[in-house]
A and B are shown apart, each in its own frame.
Chain A
Amino acid sequence: MTSDAELIGRSLAGDGQAFMEVICRHEVAVGAYLARRAGRAAAEDLLGDVWVAAFESRRTYDQSFAEARPWLYGVALNRLRHYWRSRPAEDLVPDVTSLANGWDPWPAVDARVDTQAVLRVAMATLRSEEREVLTLVACEDLTVADAARVLGKPAGTARRLLHQARMALRKAPEVAALLTDLNSVKETQ
């Protein structure tokens, strides 16, 4: 299969369909990423902006990377930051992951909600870069190196940020208690 990098190269040479093919490959993943970060309604509004921003900046794409998904996440993250900045102050919440809607229609009957609530609180205490690396690796299934590409940082820096994020979560009393509960339940099963 033709790599994303080759398709972007063709796009730069005037083949518009090539860039559309890149988009078609990653639209579900990038759409889900936006939905997790900003909620479905905002994600649906933002997705087109992300594609346009990616198209306009495709000349900066490092074609030594065959796969474009981390780069597209990076473009999406920039659009998200712009979106968050442009929102009225009263709408801002410290933990953006909590903005995702439609996760579960009956949270009261689902124990996962407790987990998520605990996590949201704990993650809100992380530095934004730590939270980004953590969610990119844990939720978007990126490697640390790819997460570094998203953030435009060296892989070593991303690794350090991930380590700090994990340590901070582990030390958070609610998360520690949750992990203890979950692991003890597993042991008794």
Chain B
Amino acid sequence: VTVDEMDLVSQLKEAAPLRPAAYERARATLRAAMAESGPARGPEMVPVPAAAPVREEGFSRARKRRGTVGTLGKVGIGAGVGAVAAAVAIVLVATSAPRSAAPAGSSTGASTGSAAQPPTATSPLMTLAAHIQASDTSPLPGNASLVIEDKKDSAGKTVEVVYALYTDSGIMYTGDDKQTLMSSITQPMNPANNETYRWAVSARNAASGDLATARLRMINTFPNCFGLGLSPTAQKKIRANCWAAGAALRREKMGDKAPTKQPTAKEVQSEIDNTLWVACDNALSWAGGDPRIREGVLRLLSTLPEVTVANSTTDGEPTLTISGGPGLFDDGSYHEVDTVDAKTGMPVSSMESGGGMAPSTQFFQFSRVTLADVKAGKF
């Protein structure tokens, strides 16, 4: 075989391979850039076959989710803690920058997903959000918020403890105890897959600006089939396609051959509101140490007609009790109640009951820390 100039040049292939740590470092750089850019946005919303985003274990709190359109029916229920949405599904992927949104509560024109009540300046949630914003004038100590979530059953017995650290730069770490939290700092979760992180980013965005647009962004943080932001015709078509795909998936995966009715507009709206509630609840519970996120969550919650707010007192301190009514959930007997500090909006507790589940309450203990201190076990 004759050697030619191409053979000679190909000898220049030899090069020392990059070290494994370099690949990981490069990926981490990319993850940071992806997190910085937020959810992808594009010129239009299109239905595409896609795998649902991989959801990493333990990164969101299990909450009752409705499932008819947006989650392809019952297949999607329970895709919370530890669930990896592996099934390939036809999902609607929100790629559009939110269109000029009608005021929350409007249902005309391109839908912003809101049969929601337009919040008023006197809404206690909006008032509290404004108060937090006005009080947020001095820099916080440390560079991260640590929350210790202690989940107790109705007898007051601890059934689960979660440590979550949310840095001011937007990275989250979690653990079951101090040691696992410290260990997790060497392996931060992938923001791209982290539900709570992405919801937190959307919540922070909602702290200011147009509320209807922020609401749309929060709902569309993850792919769904709602078609919000589209024309009524396109939205109807996409919802029908998603419903048909969901029915097919149920037949395939669960042998569910019974014909099902397409969801009513009311059911779809309830599911949209459920999506918003779950997103807000998670962002507040785990990333609520950031005042901007608290502001955003409170503003977003104020758009939900099923949410009621009452003054309360917890351990002698004034609190607000924010109740997610049964209309937000599949099971009418199920409900959730979040309690926040009436002056700071800081989460105090979150209770869930009904729906055949044992009642439980999560108690939150927030503190400001530095990442270095946590890494060194000084917390």
Residues in chain A within 8 A of chain B (CB atoms): 9-20, 23-24, 27-28, 31-32, 34-36, 40, 43-44, 47-52, 55-56, 59, 97, 100-104, 112, 115-116, 119, 123, 134-135, 137-139, 166, 169-170, 175, 178-179, 182-183, 186
Q: Is the interface of A mostly helix, strand, loop or mixed?
A: helix
B19 to A55, Cβ gap below 8 A? no
12 A-B interface contacts by CB (under 8 A): A19-B30, A19-B34, A20-B27, A28-B23, A35-B17, A36-B13, A48-B27, A48-B29, A48-B30, A123-B9, A135-B12, A166-B5
B50 to A116, Cβ gap below 8 A? no
Q: Among the listed B15, B48, B193, which residue makes an inter-chain contact with A35, where contact means beta carbons less than 8 Å apart?
A: B15
Other contacts beyond A16-B191, A20-B192, A52-B29: 16, CB < 8 A: A12-B40, A16-B53, A20-B27, A20-B31, A35-B17, A36-B15, A43-B18, A44-B18, A47-B22, A48-B25, A48-B30, A100-B12, A101-B16, A103-B14, A103-B16, A169-B9
Q: Among the listed A13, A44, A97, A182, which residue makes an inter-chain contact with B42, where contact means beta carbons less than 8 Å apart?
A: A13
Cα-based distance from A97 to B13 in the complex (angstroms): 10
Cα-based distance from A82 to B34 in the complex (angstroms): 22
Cα-based distance from A36 to B31 in the complex (angstroms): 25
Nearest Cβ on chain A to B282's Cβ, whole angstroms: 17
Cα-based distance from A100 to B28 in the complex (angstroms): 25
Residue of A nearest to B43 (CB): A59
Residue count of chain B within 8 Å CB distance of chain A? 49
Residues in chain B within 8 A of chain A (CB atoms): 1-6, 8-19, 22-23, 25-31, 33-34, 37, 39-40, 42, 46, 48, 50-51, 53-54, 93-95, 190-193, 220, 222-223
Cα-based distance from A148 to B302 in the complex (angstroms): 55
Cα-based distance from A15 to B95 in the complex (angstroms): 10
Cα-based distance from A112 to B3 in the complex (angstroms): 14
Cα-based distance from A103 to B4 in the complex (angstroms): 22
